[in-house]
Amino acid sequence: MNYQTFGNTGLRVSELALGTGNFGTGWGYGADPDSSAAIFNAYAEAGGNFIDTADIYQFGQSEELLATLLEGRRDDFVLATKFTNGAAASPNRLATGNSRRALVSSAEASLRRLKTDRIDIYWAHHPDGVTPVEEIVRGFEDLARAGKILYAGLSNFPAWRLSRAVTLAELTHALPIAAAQFEHSLVHREPEADLFQASYALGLGIVTWSPLGGGMLTGKYRQGEKGRAEGFGGKVFQAENSPQRSLILDTVLEIAGEIGVSAGQVAIAWAGTHGSIPIIGPRSKQQLTDNLGALSVNLTHEQICKLDAVSSVVPSAPLRLSGYEADRSRARVVA
């Protein structure tokens, strides 16, 4: 496993992050403790050191399982978690959203479930449509001064909110917003128009989720498998519902056949060419092994261009007029 410096921080994180939304069965779909342990240990043995979770994942079970798995080796990992949604099916309204109140109480609850004294990267999971970014920035600063978080990030925030938060933190000398997280895959390339550009310009660490389009890009749904198409109530899933998406999957399968790897490995390898850290979210050790195989896939320039062409989206006028092309020179690999 190679490592990258994370944005403008001094963190060195592995080139794939392990998402643990499947750790637990609180949602009625996921991995039991033994399967979760097998996934975690295999990821660690492969050199992975970047763990991404959230209070809402399996209604807190993900964090609780991680507490056990991290015992005795907490300092070997960068641990990231999120707040906004609460850790229960019907959470207290004061524990949800992005208010300073929710931020502080959620962080303290996550620390208890994780059985740790700090959160390495703390994410606001998504905007709540109410809380001003000034309040979020101030809350992150309070938690950092209390020694409860080390870095702050915004997940699923639009580029303009992300940019405003980074600027406010800088102007007020508060804890910097160090990272951005958002969905990105061959079937969801819209973030290349603004979120990637903003993150590059602001020096943020970039983490992208669902590089497999919720499994669609593995081709398994063509074989009748259900997976996330039904497992999460159809959420976090990109359906093969257009001629372009069918062409994208056809091309992924074609390239996979040419080089003798799985379709999922091609999709993850492509996602990793944008200077981001893709999050993999396996539900079994077998899926993890396949995901990690992407690290050995070296797509040729011609293959990348072919995938870019079939998955292209029409850029907005500013990018179109500037002759925009995907920037693949941002990753900084370190020992």
Catalytic residue set = 57
Please name the residues in contact with 78: beta carbons below 8 A apart, sequence gap of 6 or more. Answer: 6, 11, 13, 49, 50, 51, 120, 121
- How far, rounded to the nearest angstrom, does the alpha carbon of residue 179 sit from its chain's CA centroid? 11
**CA nearest 279: which of 185, 199, 198, 197?**
185
Contact call for residues 184 and 211 (beta carbons, < 8 A): yes
CA distance 70 to 117: 13
Question: Tokens for 132?
Answer: 């001003």
Contact call for residues 289 and 42 (beta carbons, < 8 A): yes
CA distance 80 to 58: 16
Which three-class secondary structure state does DSSP give residue 287?
Answer: helix
- How far, rounded to the nearest angstrom, does the alpha carbon of residue 169 sit from its chain's CA centroid? 23
Please name the residues in contact with 207: beta carbons below 8 A apart, sequence gap of 6 or more. Answer: 17, 52, 80, 153, 179, 180, 181, 276, 277, 278, 279
Question: Tokens for 250?
Answer: 């056809």
Contact call for residues 271 and 211 (beta carbons, < 8 A): yes
Question: Tokens for 47?
Answer: 């050199």
**CA nearest 251: which of 312, 299, 311, 195?**
311
